[in-house]
Structure 1
Amino acid sequence: MNILVAHNFYKLAGGEDLCVASEIALLRAHGHQVESYCLSNDSVDGMRRLQLAGRTIWSLQAAAEIRRVIRAHRAEIVHFHNTFPLISPAAYYAAHAEAVPVVQTLHNFRLVCVNAVLLRDGRPCEDCLGKAIPWRGVVHSCYRGSRAASATVAGMLMAHRLLGTWRHAVDVYVAPSEFGRRKLIEGGLPAARIAVKPNFAYPAPGVGEGEGGYALYVGRLSEEKGVHTLLAAWEGLRNVVPLKIAGDGPLAGAVREAVARNPAIEWLHGVPHAEVYGLMGQAALLVLPSQCYEGALPRVVIEAFAKGTPVVAPRHGAMADIIDGGNGLCFAAGDARDLAAKVQRLCADASLLMRMRRAARRTFDRNFTADANHDALMEIYRRAAEVHARGDLKTGAEVVA
């Protein structure tokens, strides 16, 4: 099958970018011809504000390039991941103009929330969910702490709601979790067009030994990921279990300060992703303290399960759907004391940890293998082709090639 994958890379690579790379590798390993159309947010720095706002809402440049790549590659389907901000929803119409079905994986809540994570002031927020005009997201400067930037995102959401883009220009949406699907439906996306396909680990790593005696955090160092909660929890755990932190981000300074005053915390700044699996396999447990819901079950949780490593995560969002007390424990989101108590409970019971290691790997084998993921993708592509063949694209503007 000839597949075009389109993705707008972030400035700081994260789990979403890794998911895209893994999916491309998986498709190619199964004999599909995959072409990629990728842009990077590194180029945003040189743009004027109005120029960026225009491209965010409707990028004629990306639309023309998508049409050119479809023709050159003879793509049978276009699979979008992140289109924000440089590709824009105009690319959906470009694909339809070439008579090619459109699939859009939603790794976050970008189409129903100005800041894409349903979070404000460190707590889950659904004030704009399902609203035709997400004005609260602008008033509260939810995107990058800027009303101007938030207004641009809100304008994009409103314009494409009016055009009917979200209801008619995408043949199938992919939500990586049942929780994410429910929230997208509440946000106004058509339920009949949303399929659930979880993330996966490819190639699957072997099970680790779990003999390192430490807890591990892997991810972006930012507010929505619960880094402040993590550091506060370890104020009371410094004599119980060491913590290794692998990642970077805007809260790097707070992590650096915590390392200076707490000898139990080690910051593995700049550790290559290739080494993360080894760290994960030796860790006693993985800690995921996210303040936000996490629209997808985070890739790092799936990787931990693949290594047989139990997970301690908040009792909300996608995490609460899969962490069941057998493969890990849930704590009250934002509650550093509860997080510390859960970590201490696990580290004090070696037999419980061993049972959880086996259960974590079983969870991976049941839900997150590459072969099952490929089968699910093929079914999604078949479904998208059927929807596209019915000619449900009813609205939109002409795309200039």
Structure 2
Amino acid sequence: MRVLMVHNAYQQRGGEDSVVEAEATLLREQGHEVVLHLRHNDDVNGMGRLAVAAQTLWSDRTVRDVKTLVGEFRPDVVHVHNTLPLVSPSVFWAARAAGVPVVQTLHNFRLMCPQATFLRDGRVCEDCLGKVPWRAVQHRCYRQSAVQSGAVAVMLSTHRALGTFQNKVSRYIALNEFCKAKFVAGGLPADRISVKPNFVPSPGQPQWASRAGGLYVGRLSEEKGIQVLLGAMRLEPDLGVQIIGGGPFEDEVRGVAGEAYLGFRPLPDIMARMAHAAFLVLPSVCYEGFPRTLVEAFASGMPVIASRLGSMAELVSDGRTGLLFEPGSAEDLAAKIRWAQAHPAEMLQMGQAARLEYEARYTPERNCAELIAIYRSAMAESG
């Protein structure tokens, strides 16, 4: 197949950027042709606020670029990932005008929540779900700016009114059933949403001996629950959890964790540490879409200690592939980590179950087959 992928890359590289590159590479390895059309948020530097707001609503450049690429490459499908702010929903109109079906991966909740995570002031907030998102402007949810929040809210409201999300996208991809349910509640057509998780390549067969301690891998930010983990470490200073990542709470993490804070580490180093750790800590206070680190942990034979919240409560089977704790509770997280340390045999069994879950659901081969099936479904529905 010929696939035109479109993505607006983030200034701070994150999981979505990694997924886009991984899917493009996977399709090419399986013999498909892929052209990756990227815009980058670094291009926003030097642009005025009004210019960025206008691009968020409609990008003439995207229309021109897609028209040219479709004419030269003649793709079977256009697969869109992130569109904010420079690609804009104009990509959907351009692709459909050229007669090419569109698939949109819903990596986050942006179509329902300008802030994209259903999180405000450290708590889950669904004030804008299925409604005109004016409260996001009132609370400055996007980048703590009323102007930028207004730009996203206007974009969402305008394209809902135009029927862009209802009529111009042939197929949506949600990362799990929990996310699909939220999108349906927000107004997307349930019969056009397929569920396909993320994947990671296998790091090889796990080593089951000499596993000890825990890992946190991710951005050191509010929504990821790093403060919950720090609270648990304050309660129990010898929890034995190492922290990898960077972000706004880096200084606080360094002060609490000391030598257990390892800073930023490249992926090969992370995977090497996952091969010997006993569990991964996933303390997010937001719903999450599909944490890539969770799949990496399962592939490495690591169970996950996660918040009993959103998709995490679906992806982690409590007592089988990991442990769930009360969201935001440092006390309960500390208790679960203590239990894990006191029951290494049970945690090893959970790690083995996690690896089997990976082999059944999250391998590249399984993912490629599911992705091609979604593409063919979009082509069939578009005639």
TM-score by length of 1: 0.93
State the distance in 2 between where 1:151 and 1:210 align.
54
4+ aligned runs moved over 4 Å, structure 1: none
State the distance in 1 between where 2:150 and 2:251 align.
29
Name the residue aligned to 2:322.
Answer: 328
Cα pair 1:10 1:40 within 8 Å, conserved = yes
State the distance in 1 between where 2:172 and 2:207 align.
35
Identical amino acids, percent of aligned pairs = 46
CA drift of 1:360 comes to 0.9
State the distance in 2 between where 1:315 and 1:307 align.
22
CA drift of 1:210 comes to 6.3
Structure 2: unaligned runs, 5 residues or longer: none
Aligned partner of residue 264 in structure 2, secondary structure: coil
TM-score by length of 2: 0.97
Paired residues for 1:365-380 under 5 Å: 365-380=359-374
Name the residue aligned to 1:344.
Answer: 338
The verdict on how the C-alpha distance between 1:208 and 1:24 changes in structure 2, with shifts beyond 3 A counting, is farther
CA drift of 1:160 comes to 0.4
**Aligned with 1:298 (options 284, 291, 295):** 291
Cα pair 1:208 1:309 within 8 Å, conserved = no
State the distance in 1 between where 2:375 and 2:316 align.
29
State the distance in 2 between where 1:140 and 1:18 align.
31
Name the residue aligned to 1:258.
Answer: 256
CA drift of 1:365 comes to 1.2
Paired residues for 1:266-305 under 5 Å: 266-295=260-289, 297-305=290-298
Cα pair 1:208 1:278 within 8 Å, conserved = no
The verdict on how the C-alpha distance between 1:289 and 1:21 changes in structure 2, with shifts beyond 3 A counting, is same
State the distance in 2 between where 1:244 and 1:42 align.
32
Paired residues for 1:161-240 under 5 Å: 161-209=160-208, 211-239=210-238
State the distance in 2 between where 1:305 and 1:104 align.
26
The verdict on how the C-alpha distance between 1:205 and 1:303 changes in structure 2, with shifts beyond 3 A counting, is farther
Cα pair 1:4 1:36 within 8 Å, conserved = yes
The verdict on how the C-alpha distance between 1:327 and 1:94 changes in structure 2, with shifts beyond 3 A counting, is same
Aligned partner of residue 282 in structure 1, secondary structure: coil
CA-to-aligned-CA distance 1:125-148 (integer Å, 9 cap, x gap): 1111000x1111111111111111
Most deviating of 95-104 and 250-259: 250-259
Structure 1: unaligned runs, 5 residues or longer: 390-401
Paired residues for 1:2-401 under 5 Å: 2-131=2-131, 133-209=132-208, 211-239=210-238, 241-259=239-257, 263=258, 266-295=260-289, 297-324=290-317, 325-389=319-383
Q: Per chain length, whose mean CA-contact separation is higher, i.e. which structure has more relative contact order (CA < 8 Å, sep 6+)? A: 1
The verdict on how the C-alpha distance between 1:144 and 1:201 changes in structure 2, with shifts beyond 3 A counting, is same
Cα pair 1:7 1:37 within 8 Å, conserved = yes
Cα pair 2:224 2:285 within 8 Å, conserved = yes
The Cα RMSD (Å) is: 1.3
CA drift of 1:208 comes to 3.9
